[in-house]
Amino acid sequence: MNDKKLKSALISVYYKDHLEEIVNRLHALQVSIISTGGTREFIKKLGIPVTAVEELTGYPSILGGRVKTLHPKVFGGILARNDNTSDIQEMKDYAIDPIDLVVVDLYPFEETLASGASPEDIIEKIDIGGISLIRAAAKNFQDVVIIPSKAQYPLLLEILNGQQGSTSLDQRRKLAMEAFDVTSHYDTAIFNYFNRNRETHAFRQSVEEAKPLRYGENPHQKGTFYGDFGKIFEQLQGKEISYNNLLDIEAAVYLIDDFSETTFAILKHNNACGIASRKTLTSAWADALAADPVSAFGGILITNKVVDEATAIEADKLFFEVIIAPAYEDKALEILKKKKNRIILVRKNTPLPVIQFRSLLNGIVEQDRDVKTETKADMRPVTQREPTDSEYEDLVFANKVVKHTKSNTIVLARNRQLIASGVGQTSRVDALRQAITKARSFGFDTAGAVMASDAFFPFADCVEIANEAGIKVVIQPGGSVRDQDSIDFCNKNGMAMVFTGTRHFKH
């Protein structure tokens, strides 16, 4: 009862890919075709009759092509309701013929923006007529079929070939839904371009790619990843990436990006359980693993250098879920690929977002990503003793690690190696005690290590405990009303402490 057979089509597309088959089939089904500009020339070259929009409207394309289809003869034909007697009468009065198929796509705004084009070129790629046609046809889905992009071409061909140009109401409604998906995504991209300086506090995000996950954080939770994972990584082998894998992969990437020297890190539950910077990758791997070989089991491995055969041989001895690197030597890949479920990722040279957001209560919070990484120049000595050059190197290293560790956290490091961390504790004292205990449990002497804290010390207790453990060099943001208590203790006990002025909470 709600099936409708196509009789007339308006076709106006930017991309002509796979259009020939559609046009030929429409012609075979005796569907009359109206078209514009380049699309009309394309159809004419196929030897198929086509009416120019200018013939239909009596107006030429004007303003450099900005106005072609914006006319009552076009939009009246699309928006007229076939079951509305008033609409039918007005169609007769103004000699408007119905249009029951609209095939249109939009100017490539996002592609033009990504190309680094000039502001003038970007603005010219904001589609007006096309998006208006899509919205009009989708609104009137009771009578009109809308094909809003080439992604819907397969369904249209199925309708033309399998159903002889006849459509059901459910098909038209589904296409209308997809049409509004196209227009909302397009409008979001345009809004975010104009609001790139975040002058308007309105949250707009639209991601076209979606991948259902096996489950969310736990098996009883559903999960979906919205985004183009393949833009950042090439997966060479392994099982399907899980929700928890994605969280760990993101944490690993942000951590490793703070290191330029040869570095290997092992992460578990978004935190580094081992990380070391060395002259060779094999030694970086060995010292990263030494920090906590227990937690490393089932972890995520990441490095910023090409994985060689020697490192692959050693890493292969550990069960791990994911390894990430910019590249792999052929022999290294042969070794790593022996375990088929092991996820092997190649990191592509793709910039990562600098804005983060997450759902919170009944809304969303947005923030700048923490991209600040302190160097020696950012460290202000506040004690009588100043760190040595080698101690400064360890402070820079430890502070990078603490920045990427869940709060409250304390990181202990020596010779650019993590020797232990206290992670996610409600008390900074507990985090420090946890780190000291853990370091000693894996055979590390805490004497001579440096200590990094993600936030200030409200009391002197942390430097007191550190001193008892032989830790004589400390880095922290500072900013407590009791900073002087910690400074005084350090001075009395020959400790060096520097302030950065920057807190690095991570929750």
- Backbone torsions φ then ψ of 166, nearest 5 degrees: -100, 135
Q: What is the distance, to the nearest Å, from the Cα of residue 441 to the centroid of all Cα atoms in its chain?
A: 39
Residue pair 332/312 in contact (Cβ under 8 Å)? The answer is: yes
Residue type, 393: E
Which two tokens mark 19?
Answer: 């259009």
Residues 6+ away with beta carbon under 8 Å from 85: none
**How many CB atoms sit inside 10 A of residue 288's CB?**
28
Which two tokens mark 86?
Answer: 């008033």
Residues 6+ away with beta carbon under 8 Å from 148: 104, 105, 106, 134, 138, 175, 178, 179, 182, 183
**How many CB atoms sit inside 10 A of residue 224's CB?**
11
Which of 210, 135, 233 has the alpha carbon at shortest distance from 178? 135
CA distance 241 to 483: 45
Residue environment code for 267-277, b if the CB has 16+ CB neighbours within 10 A, otherwise e: bbebbbbbbbb
Residues serving a catalytic function are 139, 269
- The residue with tokens 């371009």 is 193
Exposed, middle or buried, 154 (CB in 10 Å: 0-12/13-18/19+)?
A: exposed
- The residue with tokens 């369904």 is 155
- Backbone torsions φ then ψ of 50, nearest 5 degrees: -150, 135
- Backbone torsions φ then ψ of 310, nearest 5 degrees: -60, -40
The long-range contacts involving 158-162, CB below 8 angstroms and separated by at least 24 positions, are 159/6, 160/6, 160/22, 160/25, 160/26, 160/29, 161/25
- Output the CA torsion 444→448→449→450 (10° steps): 170
Residue pair 296/275 in contact (Cβ under 8 Å)? The answer is: no
CA distance readout (Å), 343 to 240, 319, 497: 8, 11, 42
First to last CA, the chain: 57
Residue pair 159/165 in contact (Cβ under 8 Å)? The answer is: yes
- The helix/strand/coil state of 227 is coil
Residue type, 177: M
